Structure 1
Amino acid sequence: MPLPSVSNVDLKLLSVFRAVAQSGGFSLAQTELNVSQATISIHIKNLETRLGLTLCQRGRGGFALTEDGQRVYDASNALFNHLEDFRSLVLGYEKLVGELQIAIIDNTVNHPTFQVGHVIREFGKLDHNVDITVHVAPPNQLEQMVLSSQAHIAIGFFPRRLTQLEYEPAFTSNMELYCGKYHPLFEAPEQNLTPEDVAQFDHAQRGYVSFDQLPENERPFKFTARAQTIEGLAHLILSGQYLAFLPVHYASHWISEGLMRSVLPQEYRYNSQYEMIRRKSAARTPAEKKFYELLREFRT
């Protein structure tokens, strides 16, 4: 049966469901909700009856959201974020109150010049009552989080352009091609290597970059593995089975430990532009506007 309207009871049930989904199960959500597992079970069952959907699997096999459950969870996150934004915009006026959801691509924490932590520190010096959440996700998920209002601002590498989003430069990152210590190219003299040598080995592709978005000199590569995150690519490189691109600042640790080397940097080095994105049509809370202003001041 369709949900005719969203009442206070529905919001309560959705709040319980969110807590269960975020905790990973009924028993784990007891402490946060401060109610018994039996009471949580009743709330979830009432919500499922209200929506006419099965939201989760529970039993000996463990807890897991169904496809409908994941959809309701994502929608409930957006709903509660909108409610918090409403309170900030209508009740808070120009006060820095409410919630701020920031999403960022993985492994930027050690970037030499752009540090979200510095921005958060400056924001913390202000008179505010804002609950900040930082999410880490791959680029395609970052876009979806902003589009679905699960994040106010996202920072990452976005090779495509979506008309619903606005883009602004944040920082650049030098990228190079790497192999691991156990790869056949690790001990090969640099002066003897050619692009043809490099192309014959297996490569790991950045899962968020389509083939037609690759530079011309990467298209001959034989891609037999892929990862959606920088850390995933690092695992594949360290296995000794694959070559892949990494940000130079991120790879520096393994370089210093003798576990990776850059391969033909004069041939494959390039700069990658990272950007900040927001929804074009979204109303801006005072907290979001101030944080975005600080991001602009600290970008490089």
Structure 2
Amino acid sequence: MARRASSLAQPSSIDSAAAPGAPLGEAQLRLLRTFAAVAAAGGLSPAAVELQLDLSTVSKQLRELEALLGATLARRGRGGFQLTEDGLRLQALTRRLFGAMRAFGDDLASFSGAAAAPVLRLGMVDALLTEGRVPALLARCAQAVPGLQWQLAARRPLEIERELLAGTLDAGIVAARTAPAGLEQHRLYAEANSLWVAPGHPWYAWAGDEAATLRLEDAALVTDPYVDTLPPALLPVPPGTAAGSARADSLEGVALLVLTGRHAGFLPDHYVAGTTALQPLRRVQPARYAHRQDIVLICRRGKASPALRQLIRALSAPGA
């Protein structure tokens, strides 16, 4: 049976909606933003968390977009989430669309008659304040670019990647992992992380005893947005076990739950050392449960703004 031609290639598709006389409306842009989030997150559930929407709302909006285009954009089932050929094509189109919208907004600023101040939009994960190399990096960049205006945004890793691809961020500072197509990483430093517990946790008295039999499966571990960057030996056990009993969307959330004395959690050593409230914590068997994680500057491949080029150049400055 001949395959029905996708409406993405037909006049009734989204292409016609963008034609003169039929511009994209806010409703269509909302559906496209939802699709972009789903595609970047690799599924409806993680996208719902990022968009702060109900899963049913995200699913409904994706179905509405599929009905609008007359095309199946993703397959969802026991085999997991996967974009179709049309979905991959639309993902590329949405990246171009939102990048062009941002560039158009930047170009409008030139009508003021004066040269626009350089702007660097940087997405950052949390718990970087106590790591002195990050403020030093930003200081070197600001010194090299007179009048630089920072726009800092606290985001989860997937949100940073999605906004980079959409062109609403220039760069991000995240824990290293396999970068999506179109993005590149520049190493900043290696961050030491350990498993921590607070007074009241069953492991507290045994935390420094390397000979004690302490299994990660029994830790009541708090998982977080960076769990996929853990070494395989430290990945949480399957849901339903004690180690899958709590989740936080930030390292501060992990720290709060660890401080209850009921959970263990992985935290950067510098974050614990530099935070007064976390001083009672103890590292759990560091020879076994500590690891180092590369922290990277991530940005789009290809042409970069002068401010972004200077930020990348600052990585190689003395003392970086």
Shared fold (TM-score, shorter chain, > 0.5): yes
For the 8 Å contact 1:2–1:51, the answer to whether it is kept is no
Structure 1 residue aligned with 2:123 = 103
Work out whether 1:231 is the aligned partner of 2:252: yes
Deviation track 1:108-127 (CA, whole Å, cap 9, x = no partner) reads: 11114x12x33333333346
Q: Do structure 1's residue 131 and structure 2's residue 149 form an aligned pair?
A: yes
1:98 deviation in Å? Answer: 3.6
What is the percent sequence identity of the aligned residues? 17
1:261 to 282, 285, 288: 282
How much does 1:234 deviate? 0.8
CA shift, 1:4, in A, is: 3.8
Amino acid at match of 1:150: T
The answer as to whether partners of 1:177 and 1:243 remain within 8 angstroms in 2 is: yes
- Alignment partner for residue 186 of structure 2, among 168, 190, 196? 168
Structural mapping, 1:6-155, within 5 Å:
50-51=25-26, 78-79=99-100, 81-83=102-104, 97-112=117-132, 114-115=133-134, 117-126=135-144, 128-155=146-173
Q: Tell me how far apart the structure 1 counterparts of residues 21 and 315 of structure 2 sit (CA, whole Å).
A: 36
Task: Give the Cα–Cα distance (whole angstroms) in 2 for the partners of residues 65 and 174 of structure 1.
Answer: 31
Pairs aligned (count): 242
Once the 2 structures are TM-superposed, how far is the Cα of residue 255 of structure 1 from its aligned partner?
Answer: 7.5
Query: 1:148/1:285 Cα in 2 relative to 1: closer, same or farther (>3 Å)?
Result: same
Return the offset for 1:173: 0.6
Q: Do the aligned partners of 1:102 and 1:133 also contact (CA within 8 Å) in 2?
A: yes
What is the identity, as a one-letter code, of the residue corresponding to 2:127? N
Match of 1:42 in 2: none
AA matched with 2:194: E
Correspondence 1:216 to 2:233: yes
Partner of 1:2: 17
1: distance between equivalents of 2:281 and 2:99? 41
Pick one of 190, 206, 230 that aligns with 2:208.
190
Q: Which residue of 2 aligns with 1:295?
A: 315
Whether the 8 Å contact between 1:85 and 1:285 is mirrored in structure 2 is: no
Q: 2:120 is aligned with what amino acid?
A: L
Which residue number corresponds to residue 35 of structure 1? none
Alpha-carbon separation, structure 1, partners of 2:143 and 2:189:
24
Do 1:175 and 1:270's aligned partners in 2 also have CA atoms closer than 8 Å?
Answer: yes
From the superposition, tell whether residues 121 and 6 of structure 1 become closer, same or farther in structure 2 (CA, over 3 Å). Answer: farther
**Secondary structure of the equivalent of 2:102?**
helix
Provide the C-alpha distance between the structure 2 equivalents of 1:153 and 1:6, rounded to a whole number of angstroms. Answer: 36
How far the C-alpha of 1:154 sits from its partner, in A, is 0.9
Equivalent residues of 1:203, 1:222 under 8 A apart: yes
In structure 2, the CA distance between the partners of 1:207 and 1:125, relative to structure 1 (3 Å rule), is closer
Shift of 1:75: 9.7
Change (3 A) 1:203 1:276: same
User: Gapped runs of 5+ residues in structure 1?
Assistant: 11-46, 56-63
TM-aligned CA deviation for residue 202 of structure 1: 0.9
Contact 1:183–1:242 (8 Å) recurs in 2: yes
Q: Which runs of 5+ in 2 are unaligned?
A: 1-15, 31-50, 63-94
In structure 2, distance between residues paired with 1:200 and 1:65: 31
Structure-2 separation of matches of 1:286 and 1:210 = 33
- Please give the TM-score of this superposition, normalised by the length of structure 2: 0.62
Q: Distance in 1 between matches of 2:170 and 2:183?
A: 11
Deviation at 1:166, TM superposition (A): 0.9
TM-score normalised to the size of structure 1? 0.65
